[in-house]
Amino acid sequence: MLRFLLLFQILYTVYQGHYNFESGVPGLNLPNALFLLVLLMLHFSGKHDELDAKARMRGPLLFFMAMLVLAFAIAQMRAPGEFMVDLTYLKNALFSPLLYFMYLHCKQDLRNTRLLVIAVMAVAAVAAVQAIRQGFDYGIGAFVETHRASGPFGSNYRDANRAGVYYAMFLPMFIGLALFLEHKRWRIAALGGVVLLTMALLFTYSRQAYFIAVIGLVVLLLRRSVLLALVLGATLASLVGFLPESVTQRVEETQQKGPHGEEKVDESTASRWEIWAGALAMWQANPAGVGQNRFKNEIGHYSAFQHFDAHNFYVLTLAEGGPQALLALLLLVLATFRLGAWLRRSMPPDDAEARALAIGFSVTALAMALGNLYGSPFLEGNVMGTFWILCGLLERYMLLKTRQAPASTALVVAGTDHMVERFPLAARARGIPARRP
């Protein structure tokens, strides 16, 4: 039952906005109720967790959550609003990162932990299929702003950028598996995932997602082989002409011609720069921050754009929570990079699966950080929830893997000693030194 709930939570975390049900309790939604149910099952399962390791991202995560609470307090003191609305916003912001701790200590063995990792990947592929279906329903002719796929991440085109960040974030995991796995069937499955997420990403028409996907692909190809990166890069460049017209049109919109032929950026890009300038002015006027969930109400005082999002989570964090909150955010992002580095250092030698997951996650963490430079989905549970789940699962996976490594090493050493004793000449021919008495 516990394993089923863990699997279901992975699925519902992505689809929580698509299938939303009211719990009847103010401030408590179904994702929160499901989280509490899984937490109770973990507590009363009676199953001993074979891992007793301290969470590697515990400090940065708790620091960031504390800064969220401080920003909530600043909002209540500086500009009180609807208290329950603000409290619900804070609660939802805190719940998503808690999934990291839950899945790190999910009491599953290596086989089931691996199954949960596969479930995260499978859900990403299913979410991609939904966006692809939307894209084909809209058609692939000329680009139309309202014909952007959002998958399970929203009800209309306004959520397409959020969907694009999700697909660009999980695409490196599939590319990493396709490049570094040795098992042929799993590599084919990973390639299928690459195709699905790439198509879904194209149909979101999110230019930031295109950029993130290209950066992730380049990093992974260079990690695999410089020659392979050059060959595939040239191949992909030659295939650009075969992209749908709507995709190339969307990319070309970034640079436009002014009335006198001068180069200028499109209105969407220019508006973001003005909003960011207003956000900096907002922070200068309020050095401790304007308070959580107050940016949209305040930005109209510092720019021509009223009730707009910051479209950059780092800028949003500085404006709402002050430099202390921005420091906490940067430390948390750095902690995800350090987790990726630890996964790469800790992977058992000659374990292709562990290597693929470790390298893929490292680039996924980079994509997550880049995805919040031109948008602000960091506190969105349906976008970031499975990222935090993946952090916890891969940390658990590698800890369980490394616990098996000493036993495997002992078997190798024992086998080598046996060979030296029984076949000394053959051992010497293989370069194995004679064992000292």
Which distant-in-sequence residues (6+ apart) come within 8 Å of 80 by Cβ? none
pTM recorded for the entire structure: 0.85
Answer yes or no: is pLDDT of 234 > 90.
no
C-alpha span between 73 and 289 (Å, rounded) = 11
pLDDT(383) > 50 = yes
Average pLDDT over residues 20-47: 78
pLDDT, residue 122, reads: 96
Residue pLDDT, tens place only, 182-195: 888 999 999 999 99
Whether the pLDDT of residue 288 is over 50: the answer is yes
270/161 Cα distance (integer angstroms): 17
Helix (H) or strand (E) holding 265: strand 263-265
Confidence of residue 348 (pLDDT cuts 50, 70, 90): confident
- 116 vs 419, higher pLDDT: 116
Backbone CA torsion sign across 369, 375, 381, 383: negative
**Rounded CA separation 279/390 (Å):** 32
Average pLDDT, integer, range 329-333: 97
- Report the range of poorest mean pLDDT among 18-22, 84-88, 286-290, 360-364: 18-22
- pLDDT-based confidence at 419, cuts 50/70/90? very low
Picking from 133-147, 188-202, 358-372, which range would have the lowest pLDDT averaged per residue? 133-147
pLDDT at 136 over 80: yes
Residue 371 one-letter amino acid: G
The mean pLDDT of 172-190, rounded to a whole number, is 91
Place of tokens 């002992």: 410
